[in-house]
Amino acid sequence: RRVLFRSLYTDGTDAASEANSKLQLDKFGTVAEPYYVILDPDGNVVAKFEGLTKDAVAYGAFLDKGLNRKGPDLGAIAKVDGGTLDTSGFAGKVVLADFWATWCIPCLKEIPGFNKLQKEYQAQGLVVVGIDTDEEGAEKVKPFLQKHPMDYLVGLVSPGLTQKYTLDELP
């Protein structure tokens, strides 16, 4: 899931602050300070939090609204041995999707780290998914995995996923 963090400074008298104030007023109907908003990737408001707080529980509850309870929309990911990865178990978890290729040297070097992350944090809800982008697909990936075991889910990229995440090049 892609997240964009942006700060709009609206408390100055310069042109940028005035433009930010107009944007905030047009988009959210207020120029409150501070004013926090969580947007989805399409720019729709997921949650708002107006004003200053020192209540960590209240602010944490606001941030919690930004979690994607359904899990990321990775579409249908083909498994290396056939069939489709079951992504229904991703709901409410942190999903680290690694797009990689067998020829990518930096990708190869990342595998032990991802193995370690999966092992150490899966009990806390981390799911690591390696999504291969080789054009040759499973026939290239199977022998690669025998030499370089991935202790996490491995799938094959689809054209739709390539377009959705604008995967033009690796690493």
What's the pLDDT score for residue 168?
65
Nearest to 78, CA basis, from 146, 13, 131: 131
Residue 156: partners with Cβ closer than 8 Å, 6 or more residues away: 77, 78, 79, 80, 131, 132, 137, 138, 141
Say whether pLDDT at 23 is over 80.
yes
Average pLDDT value over all residues in the chain: 82
Query: How much of the chain, in percent, has pLDDT values that exceed 70?
Result: 84
For the chain, the C-alpha Rg in angstroms (whole number) is 20
What's the pLDDT score for residue 49?
85
What's the pLDDT score for residue 90?
82
Q: Which pLDDT tens digit goes with each residue over 29-47?
A: 888 778 888 877 667 788 8
Mean pLDDT of 94-105: 88
Query: How much of the chain, in percent, has pLDDT values that exceed 90?
Result: 22
What's the pLDDT score for residue 38?
80
Nearest to 44, CA basis, from 15, 14, 22, 65: 65
Q: Number of helices and strands (H, E) in the chain?
A: 5, 6
What's the pLDDT score for residue 68?
57
